[in-house]
């Protein structure tokens, strides 16, 4: 009896189908993108740079320990109270502002704080220092940063409403749509300069 030849299977079409399926999954699959807080790192200072002397009252210390407990100026605080405490510090206006071109910017005329002499002199001098522990949960760190950013946003919105009858958020959105608008640019820079966002991240403490 003659041997039967095993028929060959044409795999060309199967390869085409597999390739099309691969393209389909590559196009339609969504990938998770890590999100975080946008921060611009400071440039390396020149060798002869002498750091300015910062008064203790112009520093607002925020600490997150390894148990995710929040300590503000040495006292334990709930996260929900952080924003208002930060606003009170930033907006205190208890003294003179920075010296620019040899001339002091003077006292804060738009601040509505208590002008406590033991708190910050001016928003452009108010520094918020955040220090965490190496065992602090990242989620807690993000929540703290969000509350501090909300404090600045609310102060900027208030000032923008008083000066331009629109919130700072609305000004910024309008400027993003019309980047060549000199008037919008000036207003945005005015509000940002009035309440500069100065948040410093201190070196995390060791868990050991």
Per-residue pLDDT reduced to its tens digit, 183-200 = 999 999 999 999 999 999
pLDDT band at 25 (very low <50, low <70, confident <90, very high): confident
Distance CA 6, CA 98 (A): 90
- Comparing CA positions, the residue from 84, 145, 88 lying closest to residue 119 is 88
Report which DSSP code applies to 58.
Answer: G
pLDDT, residue 167, reads 96
pLDDT, residue 14, reads 67
What length is written for the chain?
A: 208
Pairing of strands 127-132, 59-64: parallel
Higher pLDDT among residues 136 and 53, named by residue: 136
pLDDT, residue 12, reads 56
- Comparing CA positions, the residue from 105, 150, 109 lying closest to residue 128 is 150
Read off the pLDDT of residues 104-154 as tens digits, 9 standing for 90 and up.
Answer: 788 999 999 999 999 999 999 999 999 999 999 999 999 999 999 999 999
**Angle, helices 138-164/82-90, rounded to nearest 10 degrees:** 50
Number of structural domains found in the chain: 1
Q: Strand, coil or helix: what is 185?
A: helix
Read off the pLDDT of residues 91-102 as tens digits, 9 standing for 90 and up.
Answer: 999 999 987 766
Please report whether residue 34 resides in a domain: no
Question: Are 116 and 92 contacting, i.e. CB atoms less than 8 angstroms apart?
Answer: yes
For 18-45, what is the mean pLDDT? Answer: 66
Please report whether residue 10 resides in a domain: no
Please report whether residue 89 resides in a domain: yes
Report which DSSP code applies to 80.
Answer: G
For residue 82, the enclosing domain spans 56-201
Please report whether residue 30 resides in a domain: no
Residue 5 confidence (pLDDT) above 80: no
Instruction: Out of 42-46, 71-75, 202-206, give the one with best mean pLDDT.
Output: 71-75
Higher pLDDT among residues 31 and 21, named by residue: 21
Prediction pTM value: 0.76
Distance CA 156, CA 150 (A): 10
Higher pLDDT among residues 21 and 187, named by residue: 187
Distance CA 170, CA 21 (A): 45
Q: For residue 159, what are the CA distances in angstroms to 112, 118, 197?
A: 10, 24, 14
Please report whether residue 39 resides in a domain: no
pLDDT, residue 103, reads 63
């Amino acid at each position: 009896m003659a041997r039967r030849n095993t028929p060959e299977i044409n795999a060309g079409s199967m390869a085409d189908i597999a390739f099309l399926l691969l393209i389909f999954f590559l196009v339609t699959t969504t990938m998770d993108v890590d999100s975080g807080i946008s921060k611009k790192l400071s440039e390396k200072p020149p060798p002869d740079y002498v750091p300015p002397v910062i008064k203790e009252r112009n520093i607002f210390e925020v600490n997150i320990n390894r148990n995710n407990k929040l300590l503000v100026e040495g006292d334990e605080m709930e996260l929900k109270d952080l924003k208002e405490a930060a606003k009170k510090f930033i907006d205190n206006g208890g003294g003179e502002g920075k010296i620019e071109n040899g001339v002091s910017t003077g006292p804060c005329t738009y601040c509505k704080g208590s002008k406590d002499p033991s708190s910050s002199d001016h928003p452009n001098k108010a520094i918020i220092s955040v220090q965490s522990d190496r065992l602090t949960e990242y989620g807690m760190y993000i929540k703290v940063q969000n509350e501090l950013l909300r404090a600045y946003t609310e102060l900027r919105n208030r000032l923008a409403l008083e000066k331009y009858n629109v919130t700072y958020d609305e000004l910024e959105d309008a400027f993003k749509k019309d980047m060549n608008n000199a008037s919008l640019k000036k207003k945005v820079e005015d509000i940002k300069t009035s309440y500069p966002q100065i948040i410093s991240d201190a070196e995390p403490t060791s868990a050991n």
